[in-house]
Copies of this chain bind each other. A is one copy, B any other.
């Protein structure tokens, strides 16, 4: 199967390049922070962010001057089962909204100076043709197929299609990094994709479908129970093997989730920081870390979504989010907000005076 073997090789190569965080760069960043005019560690997790940036990049003073947000978009055949509060058309409409600059991710990306790239890996109705020239986001047409099949009737996609979507994500991330991006934030759009993310999370963590299934964009409790039943049926029909993450993606995943696995793999292998968003990007992170556990410490969890499955993922990846704002929108909105904190961490590290330069007395050691 030639179509699948090429991307699989690129993915394997990227995964093999990912090693542990750079301890030397982290120690240098810590030493710099401790020389600044503040009690050591008194900026808490903001200091941790500066140290994390050093560990990921291998540079004590890694900058976040050109953050890029990559939003993967695709449709889900499982919407035929009535799992979402919104009609499937909204995926394409929102992609057009991203490109026009009118979505939440556009407003939040502007507030932190981040670019937005939308990659269509499987929106049911092709978007590219209907979108004119606009400034909100650049649109990459990398359609693998026009949305997944209904996972309750069989696999959402073939293994080759899952790998093609992963490669599409790798290509977009590699291009962004080549163009100067020094941080990649993840976002997604796909009506029905909390169903796919819940199914992936249930299979890969062993949690019950009920435990990892929430109300998505706004269904009520009766609809949520139907969504749980849909996920249980999809798992029963496909019998995905938890030891085969790509097989799980193909069985119950989404094309945009697969693309995000590729974005994570390519970004981590380039030693560029990855900022996750909420539940959907978390499901992609879960798949990516099952392929290469060294990816986990290279991820920043931006926020904790209200989707119950997200907490399960964060626990599984040992990630503690920096924001708790009860977001449940996706698109990369939480990732954009976290970029503001990363910028703040870099400014503290780079702009503060040292005890020596400012003539400020250090701790009185005999007292403390």
Query: Is A39 touching B353 in the complex (CB atoms < 8 A)?
Result: no
Q: Is A364 an interface residue (CB 8 A)?
A: yes
Given contacts A44-B327, A45-B325, A341-B337, contact A348 B107 (CB under 8 A): yes
**Are A351 and B86 in contact (CB-based, < 8 A)?**
no
A93 to B359: give the CA distance in the assembly, Å. 7
Q: Which of B85, B103, B110 contacts A363 (CB 8 A)?
A: B85
- A180 lies within 8 A of chain B by Cβ: no
Determine whether the beta carbon of A358 is less than 8 Å from that of B100.
yes
Distance to closest chain B CB from A52 (angstroms): 13
How many chain A residues touch B (CB < 8 A): the figure is 67
A207 at the interface (CB under 8 A from B): no
Cβ-defined partner of A322 (8 Å) among B97, B217, B325, B364:
B325
Could you tell me if B44 and A219 are in contact, using CB atoms closer than 8 angstroms?
Answer: no
- Tell me, yes or no, whether A367 is within 8 Å of chain B by CB: yes
**B residues less than 8 Å from A328 (CB atoms):** 39, 42, 44
Write out, one digit per residue, whether chain A residues 90-127 have a CB within 8 A of any chain B CB (1) or not (0): 10011011001011101110110000000000000000
A100 to B358: give the CA distance in the assembly, Å. Answer: 9
- Of B110, B111, B347, B353, the residue contacting A110 (CB under 8 A) is B347
Please give the distance in Å from A78's CB to the nearest CB on chain B: 14
Residue-wise interface mask of A (340-368) relative to B, using a CB-CB cutoff of 8 A (1 in contact, 0 not): 11011001101111000111111110011
User: How many copies of this chain?
Assistant: 2
Q: Which residues of B contact A86 (CB under 8 A)?
A: 39, 361-364
Which residues in B have their C-beta under 8 angstroms from that of A361? 86-87, 89-90, 93
A367–B84 touching, CB < 8 Å: yes
Q: How far, in whole Å, are A192 and B110 apart by their CA atoms in the complex? A: 41
Report the bound CA distance from A333 to B46 in whole Å.
10
Contacts of A363 in B (CB 8 A): 85-86, 217-218
Partner of A44, one of B100, B325, B358, B364: B325
Q: Closest CB-CB distance, A355 to chain B, in whole Å? A: 9
CB distance from A312 to the nearest CB of B (A): 19
Is A43 close to B, CB under 8 A? yes
**A208 contacts partner chain B, Cβ-Cβ < 8 Å:** no
Measured CB to CB, the closest approach of chain B to A48, in angstroms, equals 8
* Contact yes or no, B108 A347, CB < 8 A: yes
Given the interface pairs A42-B217, A44-B325, the reply to whether A347 lies near B87 with Cβ below 8 Å is no
Q: List 16 contacting pairs A-B, 8 Å CB cutoff, sorted by A.
A: A37-B94, A37-B102, A38-B329, A39-B217, A42-B217, A43-B329, A85-B368, A87-B364, A90-B360, A93-B359, A102-B358, A107-B350, A110-B347, A217-B363, A223-B367, A340-B341
